[in-house]
Amino acid sequence: MVNPTWEERDLLVLRAAVEYCEDNNDYAEVHHLRGRLDLSERDIRKALNALCAETPKLFQNYWHAPGTGVIRVERPTGEARRRLGLWPTPETLADRLVQAMTQAAEQEPDEEKRGRLKTAASWFGNAGRDVLVDVTAAVINRQMGGA
């Protein structure tokens, strides 16, 4: 039986690798991560092997050693940052907007405005969610230099 590894191993290694890369010239090696994690070198290598097989890519480059697998990762991608919650996704931005509308409704003293805010938050949180996700995707794409 294969044990689930995302929460106990792979996510921890991804977070440590991205953090280390941020602080140290955009690359991390197994021994760097070993010093940051309470995991064996073998488990870190297994996690890096799994992470580097992902599509879309989580690292721009990675290096293998014969018989041991991935020993170095370089330049984490936006996808790696999104998986860690460091960069927004259309879904997380949509959730934040719905939450902000709900909070605004709760704090609105004017009953008519409060009702409109509650209605909008309810619609965007349910039937209009796809519309809101599409709008936030367009905003993210434009901010990142897309069309």
Q: Does pTM surpass 0.85?
A: no
pLDDT of residue 40: 94
Confidence of residue 145 (pLDDT cuts 50, 70, 90): low
Radius of gyration from C-alpha coordinates of the chain: 20
pLDDT of 44: 96
The one-character DSSP state at 10 is I
Among 3.10.20, 2.60.40, 1.20.58, 1.10.10, name the CATH number for the domain at 6-83: 1.10.10
Per residue in 40-61, pLDDT tens?
A: 999 999 999 999 999 999 999 9
Ranges of beta strands (E only) in the chain are 27-29, 59-65, 69-76
62: β partners: 73
Contacts of 125 (CB under 8 A, 6+ apart): 98, 102
Is residue 121 scored above 70 in pLDDT?
yes
